Amino acid sequence: MIPASFDYVRPQSLEDALAQLGEHGDDARVLAGGHSLLPVMKARLADPGVLVDIAGIDGLSGISESEDGITIGAMTTHAEIEASASVQGRCRSLAEAAAAIGDVQVRNRGTLGGSLAHADPAADYPAVILAANAEITVAGADGERVIAADDFFTGTYETALGAGEIITSVRIRASAARGSSAYLKAAQQASGFAVCGVAARIALDADGAVERIRVGVTGVAESAYRATSVEDALTGAAPSAESIRKAAATAGEGVDALDDFYAGADFRRHLAGVYAARAIGKAWIRAAGE
């Protein structure tokens, strides 16, 4: 289908982009890579009067590394994240999620910030962002603020972004000295979206017990969530294949799971347990080996 008519602006600075959003209010939408917004517009599920294209703004893309983590610009593409040695070294689950998104064309145009702002319940990044306890920096008319990952996803296609705000970067702390992460998913064969995706991030103490663990789940419920029951069961324990399997089995319990033509609610809850065990096991092996 063809989208409804709209005006197009391409600001050259963040200040100009925010001004455009302020001027046009609810009639304006931010255009990043376009792979989330444009299909919705073509289906006439959204009809903004003005698109504010932020692709030409300097400083919104790129990956910088510091001693304690990485900062990723919102306009950084999935392909750039997948290929980044910094990301692979500091947060392997993020590189794995980027590599699992769509196809080559999507990965070369789609962006981290655009995906997070769209908050598709079957997107890959939300699980990783939650597991990594990331910090999302946004800019608006009143200046910058930082939103914790746990507070960012509020519902289906809903986030804590305020009116006229733009994601500018995402900050992720590096894995612990004896720590690592992993992301695995069961994908829809046609689209590549997650029927269930699980990210696990684990840190081990000197004796090999779990010092910290966070588990993010996407594709199962109306928005991504943390499997806190799994985290609680494993924290402080010496992991084993059996203890991980037993704890992971609760990843889908009590969840109001999606139920559609592709997968039923019970199946999604089952997948949450299966993929939680696989992702945690993979992260544990990496942490113990690294």
195 shares a domain with 129: no
C-alpha dist (Å) from residue 175 to 113, 132, 170, 179, 184: 22, 9, 15, 5, 18
pTM higher than 0.85, yes or no?
A: yes
Query: Is 156 inside a domain boundary?
Result: yes
- Judged against a pLDDT cut of 70, whether residue 290 lies above it is answered with no
The average confidence (pLDDT) of the chain is: 95
Among 3, 1, 19, which residue's Cα sits nearest to residue 11? 19
Residue 54 within any structural domain of the chain: no
246 burial type by CB count under 10 A (0-12 exposed, 13-18 middle, 19+ buried) = middle
Contact call for residues 29 and 46 (beta carbons, < 8 A):
yes
d(CA 100, CA 125): 10
Residues 84 and 123 grouped into a single domain: yes
Domain finish residue from 138, 156, 173: 173
pLDDT of residue 220: 98
109-132 average pLDDT score? 96
- Kindly indicate the confidence band of residue 152, based on its pLDDT and cuts at 50, 70 and 90: very high
Q: What is the CATH number of the domain that holds 79?
A: 3.30.465.10
Q: What residue numbers bound the domain in which 163 lies?
A: 63-173
| pLDDT for the residue 34 | 82
Q: Which two tokens stand for residue 7?
A: 């005006």
Q: Which residues contact 45 (CB under 8 A, 6 or more apart)?
A: none
In a domain, 141, yes or no: yes
Verify that 233 and 165 share a domain, yes or no.
no
Q: Are residues 169 and 185 in the same domain?
A: no
Q: Are residues 150 and 133 located together in one domain of the fold?
A: yes
- pLDDT of 59 above 70: yes
Same domain? For 107 and 11 the reply is no
Query: Span 227-239, mean pLDDT?
Result: 97
- Are 155 and 188 within one domain? no
Clarify whether residues 202 and 114 are in a common domain: no
Length of the chain: 290
Rounded-to-integer distance, Cα 195 and Cα 188, Å: 6
Q: Indicate if 166 and 196 belong to the same structural domain.
A: no
Strand partners, 51: 8, 29
Is 22 in the same domain as 68? no
- In the three-class reduction of DSSP (H, G, I as helix; E, B as strand; rest coil), residue 156 is classed as coil
**Across 52-64, average pLDDT:** 94
Last residue of a domain, one of 142, 173, 204: 173
pLDDT in tens, 28-57: 999 998 878 888 888 888 889 999 999 989
Share of the chain above pLDDT 70, in %: 100
Mean pLDDT for 240-249 is 97
Residue-level pLDDT at 15: 96
Q: Is residue 55 part of a domain?
A: no
Q: Into how many domains does the chain fold?
A: 3
Q: What is the CATH number of the domain that holds 45?
A: 3.30.43.10
Segment 103-122 mean pLDDT: 94
Question: Exposed (0-12), middle (13-18) or buried (19+): which is 58, by Cβ within 10 Å?
Answer: exposed
Lowest mean pLDDT, pick from 86-90, 129-133, 188-192: 188-192
Q: Are 202 and 247 in contact (CB under 8 A)?
A: no
Do 183 and 166 lie in one domain? The reply is no
| 183 and 197 Cβ atoms separated by less than 8 Å | yes
> Does residue 139 sit in the same domain as residue 185?
no
The CATH number for 191's domain is 3.30.390.50
Asked, for residue 2, whether it belongs to a domain, the answer is no
Q: Is 215 a member of any domain?
A: yes
